[in-house]
Amino acid sequence: MAEPLPDNPQFSIIIPVLNEAAYLDHSLARLFALEGVADLCEVIICDGGSEDASLEIVKQYDCRIVHSDAGRARQMNIASQAARGEFLLFLHADSSLPANFINSFDASAEWGFFRLRLNGDTFVYRVIESAINLRTRLSQVAGGDQGLYFKRYFFQLLDGYPKIPLMEDVAICKMARCKAKPVIIDTAITSSSRRWQENGIIRTVLLMWTLRLAFWLGVDPQRLYKIYYPQQG
């Protein structure tokens, strides 16, 4: 385990990982190149049992590594227990924080998230991200690819992410907004458009809206997980 550079980090950047070797080297190189990361942040990787080269890549960087069983909510909760930062910032392995993200934070914020930008170049991705940003601003409920962040004590007050296999990001936002209004950082986080590219844009949009509606109607998250990941069902 590599120890983090700062003694009293302002931010604990937590990245859950499971077989993300294709994206990790680029993502971590970009992250550690950002101003302030080395001085003000600790980066904690929670591996869920990767069978590819993910851990070998992570060990090339000044990250702390923790382990847990697979499951995004479980991994993020385990990593949060090792975190020392004032803010916990949860980042996907294929997402990139904006260059000035540290200066964009409101120190009084209890929680919040970033405006989203997808890395696809075509106009349809501008439409998708605009719709997502409008929805999240109105509902105060964001996806995990928008860089959810919490003050550490506030995250503990919420008892962490709900222990469900899918929609843990939606669930924690709904709990958090009952206690405090989120602060939405207007500088955009860049997230991968791979799920739209791999599964088709229309199909993916319809699937995501269907899953969110089903979750709102009370469908068991385990059943939603099997729909979203049919190959693992």
The pLDDT assigned to 20 comes to: 96
pTM for this predicted structure? 0.93
- The mean-pLDDT minimum among 41-55, 132-146, 197-211 falls in 197-211
The pLDDT assigned to 1 comes to: 40
When pLDDT is cut at 50, 70 and 90, the band that residue 199 belongs to is: confident
Collapsing DSSP to helix, strand or coil, 132 comes out as helix
**What CATH code is assigned to 11-194?**
3.90.550.10
How remote is the C-alpha of 92 from its chain's centroid?
4
Contacts 24+ apart (CB under 8 A), 157-161: 160/73, 160/76, 160/77, 160/80, 161/72, 161/73, 161/76, 161/77
CA dist 201 and 197 (Å) reads 7
Pairing of strands 111-118, 41-47: unpaired
CA dist 77 and 51 (Å) reads 21
- Evaluate whether 161 touches 168 at the Cβ level (below 8 Å): yes
The stretches of 21-60 forming alpha helices (DSSP H) are 21-33, 37-40, 54-58
